[in-house]
Amino acid sequence: MLDLTPAEWTAVALSLRIAVVATACALPFGIVIGWLLARTNFWGKSVLDAIVFLPLVMPPVVTGYLLLIWFGRKAPIGAFFDTHFGIVFSFRWTGAALACGIMGFPLMVRPIRLALEAIDRKLEDAAATLGANRPWVFLTVTLPLALPGIIAGVVLCFARALGEFGATITFVSNIPGETQTISTLIYTLTQVPGGDAAAGRLVLIAIVLAFAALLASEWLARRASIRFHGE
Amino acid sequence: MLAVDVEKQLGALKLDVRFDAAPGVTALFGPSGAGKTSVVNMIAGLLTPDRGSIVIDDTVLFDAARGIDVPPHRRRIGYVFQDGRLFPHLSVRQNLDYGRRMSGRPRQAKEFEGVVALLDIGHLLDRRPRMLSGGERQRIAVGRALLMGPRLLLLDEPLASLDAAHKREILPYLVRLRDDGKIPMVYVSHTVAEVRRIATTVVRLNAGKVVAADGLDLLSDADIDGLD
């Protein structure tokens, strides 16, 4: 059953790489934005909140199109990344990771924000009286206590990134070996005669990966929760 | 020597408190809502007074007129909270070690063992806070505050969340600490029996004002009827 062709293996490996990179790059931003939304009040906070959640409610093809006109090689942000960091997004796997990271971002921010809101601020006060400055309070108290929420956010973002289709195909197309992921390959296979068996195999893999991600998050969250709260 | 002279508007309560705490144990005594916890929070730096100053020995911790407000993490004042506030994600040993680690002081086995012996907590070191009884938790909280090397120890109703048996369990440790005489303490309580047992000076608060400050004889028998 799982006799994958090299092209299919390539798509699976590429999907995993894209999802991992997208999630890893999104995480620091997710923690910062989650913290801003949970802990601070500033002018324009509701606008930031809305922008973060926009990819969740907009048609993915719109997100992909916006990425195309902002992050294309000649586009303002895309050109900046190209000249300063040597990173090209358009029609590269890096662009797929960018699209997937943005699509998964709202799902990552929400549980992190909720976890930060749920932390007993009195514990942070206690840490301060014990000599911890604010960065240390954050690293040694806030972050560990928010860990279950951070794990949940990571897994949701990863799962979303793994299955992303609309924004990816709009922004970086569907190039075998470069931007062709499980999702876009399944789409390709359903467009050609006799592609059903191969599509079926990939569908199965997609289900297994999604399931594994959920089980892993359950397990990690329970472990963290037992460690901290004993329940 | 601690000199407190602070004012702060807290909702309907106007806090206007002035007192000096000599070495030993100064009890902040008064009914609930008198502003006792707010006063110790200001000494710790967790609450900013509207006006006034807080000076300990020769160090100015707060002075509104001069714009001085030392942040809590640089005040080196140990604080034992009413609800313990142990870090749930750390073991007892890590909780005890937290203050030393954060101030970057080297590990001193002698000091650690001394505090562990004083509070009888050697058998609890590898446990998590959630597996401790209320009395054990407060002893750890006292130990954690002591091990940061404080110049002053604040105790905010450290026994209030404990039942009578656990109160009796922990008071002797605090008395021992007082008789050690190394660290001055400010002890918040609304319970006469506790204050009688532990305090050397009493500062009596009511509705945000100091109504009297003196020795233990300040506590009349009438207090006992009304409280505890």
Distance from CA of B218 to the nearest CA of A (A): 31
pLDDT at B162: 80
Q: Tell me how many domains chain B contains.
A: 1
**What is the residue type of B84?**
G
Asked if the structure places residue A187 within a domain, the reply is yes
Contact residues, chain B, for A136 at CB < 8 Å: 102
Would you say residue B143 has pLDDT above 60?
yes
E strands present in B57-208:
59-63, 68-69, 77-80, 152-156, 185-189, 201-206
Question: What is the spatial distance between Cα A209 and Cα A31, in angstroms, rounded to a whole number?
Answer: 25
Per DSSP, the three-state class of A70 is: helix
Q: Find the mean pLDDT for residues B150-158.
A: 93
Helix ranges (DSSP H) in B120-187: 134-146, 164-180
Asked if the structure places residue A1 within a domain, the reply is no
Question: What is the spatial distance between Cα B77 and Cα A145, in angstroms, rounded to a whole number?
Answer: 25
pLDDT at A230: 53
Q: Cβ of B98 and A140 within 8 Å?
A: yes
Asked if the structure places residue B131 within a domain, the reply is no
Q: Cβ of A128 and B45 within 8 Å?
A: yes
Contacts of B35 (CB under 8 A, 6+ apart): B10, B13, B15, B17, B205, B207, B208
- Confidence band for B166, pLDDT divided at 50, 70 and 90: confident
Contact B30, B13 (CB under 8 A): no
Domain that holds residue B71: 2-89+153-226
Reported as half-sphere exposure (CB side, CA atoms, 13 A), residue B57 has a value of 10
Could you read off the pLDDT tens digit of each residue along chain A, which spans 231 residues? 567 888 889 999 999 999 999 999 999 999 999 999 999 999 999 999 999 999 999 999 999 999 999 998 888 899 999 989 989 998 899 999 999 999 999 999 999 999 999 999 999 999 999 999 999 999 999 999 999 899 999 999 999 999 899 999 999 999 898 999 999 999 999 999 988 889 999 999 999 998 898 898 888 888 877 776 654
Q: Tell me how many domains chain A contains.
A: 1
Asked if the structure places residue A155 within a domain, the reply is yes
Domain that holds residue A186: 6-229
Asked if the structure places residue A57 within a domain, the reply is yes
Contact B185, B197 (CB under 8 A): no
Q: Cβ of B88 and A129 within 8 Å?
A: no
State the CATH number of the domain containing residue A122.
1.10.3720.10
Distance from CA of A154 to the nearest CA of B (A): 20
- Confidence band for B225, pLDDT divided at 50, 70 and 90: very low
Asked if the structure places residue B111 within a domain, the reply is no
Q: Which two tokens stand for residue B32?
A: 């609930």
pLDDT at B220: 64
Q: Which two tokens stand for residue A210?
A: 């999604």
Q: Which two tokens stand for residue A121?
A: 């601020």
Contacts of B27 (CB under 8 A, 6+ apart): B187, B188, B189, B195, B198, B199, B201, B202, B203
Would you say residue B226 has pLDDT above 50?
no
Contact B56, B1 (CB under 8 A): yes
Asked if the structure places residue A212 within a domain, the reply is yes
CB nearest to A229's CB, from B71, B88, B102: B88
CB nearest to B73's CB, from A132, A141, A230: A132
Would you say residue B87 has pLDDT above 90?
yes
Would you say residue B40 has pLDDT above 90?
yes
State the CATH number of the domain containing residue B207.
3.40.50.300
Asked if the structure places residue B85 within a domain, the reply is yes
Q: What is the ipTM of this complex?
A: 0.90
Task: Give A224-229 contacts, CB < 8 A, sequence gap 24+.
Answer: A224/A147, A224/A148, A224/A151, A225/A148, A227/B89, A227/B128, A228/A144, A228/A145, A228/A147, A228/A148, A228/B88, A228/B89, A229/B88, A229/B130
Q: Report residue B117: phi and psi, to 5°.
A: -70, -45
Question: What is the spatial distance between Cα B151 and Cα B57, in angstroms, rounded to a whole number?
Answer: 9
pLDDT at A12: 93
A225: nearest CA partner in chain B: B89
- Confidence band for B221, pLDDT divided at 50, 70 and 90: low
Distance from CA of A114 to the nearest CA of B (A): 18
CB nearest to B85's CB, from A126, A136, A230: A126
CA A33 to chain CA centroid, Å, is 14
Using beta carbons and an 8 Å cutoff, which residues of B are at the interface with A?
A: 44-46, 71-79, 81, 83, 85, 87-89, 98-99, 102-103, 128, 130-131, 144-145, 148
Asked if the structure places residue B137 within a domain, the reply is no
Alpha carbon separation from A183 to A9, A76, A189, B132, B148 (Å, rounded): 13, 29, 10, 51, 56
Asked if the structure places residue B144 within a domain, the reply is no
Q: Which two tokens stand for residue A132?
A: 């911890």
Contact residues, chain B, for A123 at CB < 8 Å: 85, 87-88
Question: What is the spatial distance between Cα A196 and Cα A92, in angstroms, rounded to a whole number?
Answer: 27
Contact residues, chain B, for A126 at CB < 8 Å: 79, 81, 85, 87
For chain B, give the number of residues: 228
Highest-pLDDT range among B82-91, B206-215, B216-225: B82-91
Would you say residue B169 has pLDDT above 60?
yes
pLDDT at B210: 87
- Burial-class residue B53 by CB neighbours within 10 Å (0-12, 13-18, 19+): middle
SS3 annotation, B43-58: HHCCCCCCEEEEEECC
